[in-house]
Amino acid sequence: MENTLRILLTEEDADPERIAELTGYLREELLDLDVDDVTAPPGGEVPPGARAVDPTDIGALLVALGHSANMLSQVMTVIRSWLGRRHEAHESQVSLHLQMGDDILEVHKATDDQVSEAFNMFVRRHSSAGAEA
């Protein structure tokens, strides 16, 4: 799953419906790209007596990037734009946990410039890894 980006979206004090709504908006924007797919991660078997849905899975998406060399960059641009609009609308702080393979990027309470630089570094790490392979 090297060409898969895992996204986990959270928002402080948000209820599950709010997280599901935000995740849905982001998913719609990502599906406008030429990605292979954007899905919720498969759930594991629910143990007896447990809730049917783990609240941390509500804000999770798997983005299948396909084989395009610049698809990760396009996906990160959409995420950055989406996150910027949340910030401009003065909505409460959205946090993101992005993961490709063993590489993890956490974004929480960051300025637009910090987000942009972190996203660019993340893309560069995966672009150079792909070029070396």
pLDDT in tens, 24-58: 999 999 999 999 999 988 864 444 554 555 556 78
Residue at 33 is within a domain? yes
**CA atoms of 100 and 102, how far apart (whole Å):** 6
Residue at 28 is within a domain? yes
Residue at 46 is within a domain? no
Residue at 105 is within a domain? yes
**CA atoms of 1 and 17, how far apart (whole Å):** 29
The pLDDT tens digits for 63-78 are 999 887 789 999 999 9
3-state helix, strand, coil in the chain (%, to 5): 45, 20, 35
Domain count within the chain: 1
Q: Which domain holds residue 26?
A: 4-41+57-132
Residue 122, pLDDT above cutoff 80: yes
**Cβ–Cβ < 8 Å for 86, 73:** no
Predicted confidence at residue 98, as pLDDT, reads 95
Residue at 85 is within a domain? yes
Predicted confidence at residue 132, as pLDDT, reads 47
Tokens of residue 18, six digits? 């709010």
**Cβ–Cβ < 8 Å for 19, 10:** yes
Tokens of residue 21, six digits? 């709504």
